[in-house]
Structure 1
């Protein structure tokens, strides 16, 4: 089968370790399913893997990719949940299983013609969604859904700030928060990305670090060091900052005095559960909300997608078709 693999690790030049070519077809095993992949989407996780984060050299070569939609052995159209874990070990939540992993960390990922995955990780693809749309859901959109509806504890009509417009999680947060009736502020260094966020329904889009006209109930943070102080200072007393990543670094001043004096909540969020993915897919099918797709490329041109993400060109998801 044709696949996109991490063949080498390079923290400084991640794309140098990217290879395209033939790999052995996956061998069936009990409790697992083989999926014919129709579409897969790119995440920053794939770039971090090429830098060696979460993917040690002894596991190379590794097929990259977390997200996919396709057809199982029985002809069913499916969406693939990327978290491989035991719900029982996490108290009913596989994302809290200490031994959990994502596809492409311990097991080959989705950037291939065929994918071997635990059968419980397959969910029915709603017929209302295309394969390309469904392939955007399992990582970025699921992370956003879990942050917004599972962690933030907001009521419709709340005020929220999304730091860093343009990435898959940020765009999903804007789209879902607008759908839920929240007043959404967005920040970005890019004027073009701020304009696109407004087109998605954001209430206002400001340059990164600029003071908001009001304090918000929740901040959704994936940038880290570069925006942390602004996030904490943008909250109302009792507000929450929900953190799913730290792409600019994870060691900013903690602002602890402000956190305890204003009784702020700092909440970590990683991915989402299988049940949440099912609920997200159903929400998209019922409401007409669709993932924002920046570009669709054939899998054979995956390097161009990686390059665009590495240079921060995209707004929304980059999708590969098989």
Structure 2
């Protein structure tokens, strides 16, 4: 962190810092304007004020953070109102707490009591980088309850992959898909390259299930097999078996195939719609085969702790596609925007 005194009015103005005796600055990645067609035009990499620390909150010195499509949506103007700009981006991080502990940051800001014990059901919940500055910075402020101990066996880069994509996949596969707890289920993962998809493949195999995957990209299909998928197919092809559950993050482009892939009584678990959010509705198939469509969003702080312990116990690790310094964030965002990713993009401090 860097500080400057009250007399340096030009620097204070440039950093949008409220007047006070000293203002501390951190290197951060922020959205300063939004453009649906050219999202990277509003990306800023530079100094920002250290976030405020409300009562019950603390700070984490970030060691590693990862990118998500949520960050691109914010740059495009989806889910983040323009009146909240500039906003530091990022949901995922691992680092060192103010108490000197190695921790993972849980990104959901919500009240478990309001959500009947589940902060993701709090109607006023948000994620870091929506109402509060995010994790793509040297320092992030979070509620104390949002800190999860980092297992020593996980690197900061690996641990930083867990809070969004891996937690989302963990809840989908373990909690929401209705698969047998002892393993033996059949799971289809639509799309082989993204963070949630790769996590679902690895977690599904670690839980003892047969995992099928689709991708338009032959190289990604090959890599999916290498990380644990049993078979990989082009999108839309007839599968050799009907599956118990589908992990759906693509949306319109794969929805019809997801419906046709299910056995009677099967379920689609949906946590995203990167290709569009208005898929065709085959209601005849839905009711006649008694299919279920289950929504799933992120996961709780306790589920993140379970996931970290599970990864430590069984030895599974996130797939890291690329690691760059925080200052080189623009290159990582360009890679994410172009879809040339298999696994997670990590930024280190």
- What TM-score does the superposition give when structure 2 sets the normalisation length? 0.91
CA distance in 1, matches of 2:280, 2:238: 19
CA distance in 2, matches of 1:141, 1:129: 14
1:7 to 17, 28, 32: 32
CA distance in 2, matches of 1:25, 1:215: 52
Deviations 1:197-248 (A, max 9, x none): 0001111000111110111000110000000000000000000100001111
Are the aligned partners of 2:178 and 2:245 in contact in 1 as well (CA < 8 Å)?
no
CA distance in 2, matches of 1:61, 1:194: 39
CA distance in 1, matches of 2:227, 2:296: 24
The alignment status of 1:303 with 2:312, answered yes or no, reads no
What is the DSSP-based 3-state SS (H/G/I as helix, E as strand, rest coil) of the residue aligned with 2:113? Answer: helix
CA distance in 1, matches of 2:196, 2:313: 21
CA distance in 2, matches of 1:26, 1:235: 47
The alignment status of 1:216 with 2:237, answered yes or no, reads no
What is the DSSP-based 3-state SS (H/G/I as helix, E as strand, rest coil) of the residue aligned with 1:226? Answer: helix
Deviations 1:278-297 (A, max 9, x none): 00000011111000000101
Are the aligned partners of 2:103 and 2:147 in contact in 1 as well (CA < 8 Å)?
yes
CA shift at 1:320, angstroms?
Answer: 0.3
Deviations 1:72-128 (A, max 9, x none): 111011100000000111110000010000000000000000001111111111111
Are the aligned partners of 2:58 and 2:141 in contact in 1 as well (CA < 8 Å)?
yes
Within a 5 Å distance, the mapping from 1:31-180 to structure 2 comes to 31-155=56-180, 156-180=183-207
Are the aligned partners of 2:111 and 2:122 in contact in 1 as well (CA < 8 Å)?
yes
CA distance in 1, matches of 2:225, 2:99: 43
CA distance in 1, matches of 2:35, 2:53: 32
- What TM-score does the superposition give when structure 1 sets the normalisation length? 0.99
* RMSD of aligned residue pairs (Cα, Å): 0.6
CA distance in 1, matches of 2:280, 2:149: 44
Once the two structures are overlaid, the 10-residue window that deviates more, 166-175 or 117-126, is: 117-126
CA distance in 2, matches of 1:116, 1:73: 10
Report the counterpart of residue 222 of structure 2 in structure 1. 195
CA distance in 2, matches of 1:20, 1:262: 51
CA shift at 1:2, angstroms?
Answer: 0.5
CA shift at 1:25, angstroms?
Answer: 1.6
CA distance in 1, matches of 2:107, 2:325: 21
CA shift at 1:250, angstroms?
Answer: 1.1
CA distance in 2, matches of 1:150, 1:177: 12
CA shift at 1:185, angstroms?
Answer: 0.5
The alignment status of 1:253 with 2:280, answered yes or no, reads yes
CA shift at 1:54, angstroms?
Answer: 1.1
Tell me which structure has the larger Cα radius of gyration. 2
What is the DSSP-based 3-state SS (H/G/I as helix, E as strand, rest coil) of the residue aligned with 2:334? Answer: helix
What is the DSSP-based 3-state SS (H/G/I as helix, E as strand, rest coil) of the residue aligned with 1:34? Answer: strand
- Structure 1: unaligned runs, 5 residues or longer: none
- Structure 2: unaligned runs, 5 residues or longer: 1-25
